[in-house]
Chain A
């Protein structure tokens, strides 16, 4: 991490206000908010893979959507290549003075800030979970992969465009690329479709790729191919990848660093091997213990947390994990733990975590 990081996220907050009921309106109650992401900070170096792991509803997809500008963050800063790309910053970039209230009035004001999103999305691309739904069924593979180039007005010459689409498809493992140009998504298998999605994301040669559960819809034997492909692209092109998943097995293979999320916060983060070997947060320990191991000789004691992730509408006080924590103490109900450095680059937010002795 010698050069400046590709992506820095500081104290990112995304709250979704609920539509207040009539009674609430009449009583002038504060509108309730779902705290999907509640103060998350991380950074990503060029060519690095950061995995964000957690259960459904922990806010990992909201982070991805906020990074790419599909959601506007409530608070916090996102620096991409040293440039602020948050929602308010985008408005400023577009020549708009951000409104005091954060709300935007006219239609013109709503559409204008999106123009600077275009700049962001040329350099940061997203791969969605479901390759069956993220491809236009009525467009040919060539049209799908070439569309980002048209949108961004790149490679205006037809020959150049064809060459770029061809190389993108071939890099994604669809060879010979010409055979796929005129085919439609329904003619392809799930693995091939996900390759088309990857080709479409890589055709702009982005620096950042956000992959939201890119293999969870695929069969095991195909999953490995797609993971190998992503890893290959990351090495060859030095693309930074934010990899969002709930599958720790995949993470162990794929990611350089790991961030474990629980209820809108990162509870533990660090180099993958280090976190997996030496988990400090009880939630990480529990998650690790329930990952099925493909070896019947290694059946072991699992830490099964009862119940489910609490509703992010009314978060528990103190440490937000304490109601489900197997080792919770009285103090956990009172204070929200801060990050403790447990090893080089390895942090955990738990009162029980042992800080590294300063050397």
Chain B
């Protein structure tokens, strides 16, 4: 792939060892690139491995996780670094806005102090300068800096999410990972937060990896999309291609099942069944039990990611004939 990529994830595999149940394969062969200034969307249903992918990249998983594969950040493989060196990358280069901002802030610590802690922990500047920086960061995300002296419970949901974003930006990272940043927010507040992310990206020129299950958010925000299903990449390509010329049956169904305000339909397409349990993964394609166009081969053989267009990849046996 092009050398310009900021983050290159290659064949990332993550398993969780579960007593008595063997291993849950949460991620299998995940590969994608993040370029500077780009917004990449990781989309999929609950349990498809979106959050695990983020946590694997940042190496923030519990002890029963086994990660293999490579994650190159500016040419350095993060997976081989000793923990001590990895800490230099976290937050300074790779920052994350955790899911559920409601609960991710410390309830008994003033918001400004929590942000300052992130700065002083990484020894970026003396405490007094950090104080000024906290004010700047709060203003950057649209919170009056006096409110830094307040506690999280005095904030509304949208403001807490903004405070989380300010904290993530504390060390001027190159990549911002945002895990479901707008889930549980109202549409209007969601629009405000998305606008803020867009605005920050343009001002600071950082790359954003956006994890979400909301296809609408992806369509509004992202340049590139990775559609995940059952821990694997189902489809990967530019946002326009994914939405207007999807090749994987899962992507197609997912798009059809999303109610569109502009073209209300009589019946919404639905995908019967549920995503596979990660401890009982089907031998063939992971989507086969729910697929409306599956063939015999899908039951036994897992489809490889096929190149179906320029920078457009999809994993489906049916696409072999189209090539």
Contacts and interface: CB of A to CB of B under 8 A. Distances in A.
Interface of A: 55-56, 189, 191, 219-225, 227-228, 231, 246-250, 252-254, 273, 276, 286-288, 290-299, 302, 304-306, 308
B258 A220 contact: yes
28 contacts: A220-B214, A220-B258, A221-B270, A222-B270, A222-B274, A225-B271, A227-B259, A246-B187, A249-B258, A249-B259, A249-B260, A249-B261, A253-B264, A253-B265, A287-B187, A290-B187, A291-B187, A291-B216, A292-B215, A292-B216, A293-B220, A294-B258, A296-B239, A296-B240, A296-B243, A296-B244, A298-B262, A308-B156
A252 B265 CA distance: 9
Q: Classify the interface of chain A: helix, strand, loop or mixed.
A: helix
B268 A253 contact: yes
Given A225-B272, A228-B267, A246-B186, A308 B257 contact: no
A220 B189 CA distance: 20
A84 B109 CA distance: 51
Nearest to B190: A290
A306 B186 CA distance: 13
Given A225-B272, A249-B216, A304-B192, A297 B262 contact: no
B200 interface: no
A223 to B, nearest CB: 7
B186 to A, nearest CB: 4
Given A293-B261, A304-B191, A221 B244 contact: no
B255 interface: yes
Interface in B227-241: 239-240
Most buried by A among B187, B265, B269: B187
Contacts of A306: 192
A247 B258 CA distance: 11
B129 to A, nearest CB: 30
A254 B157 CA distance: 28
B45 interface: yes
A247 B187 contact: yes
Contact of A224 (B45, B190, B240, B270): B270
B261 A219 contact: no
B112 interface: no
Interface string B265-286: 1011111101000000000000
B318 interface: no
A292 B268 contact: no
A298 to B, nearest CB: 7
Nearest to A286: B188
B188 A287 contact: yes
Contacts of B24: none
A291 B254 contact: no
Contacts of B254: 220-221
Contacts of B186: 55-56, 246
Interface in B161-197: 186-192, 195
B158 interface: yes
B260 A293 contact: yes
Contacts of B187: 55, 246-248, 287, 290-291
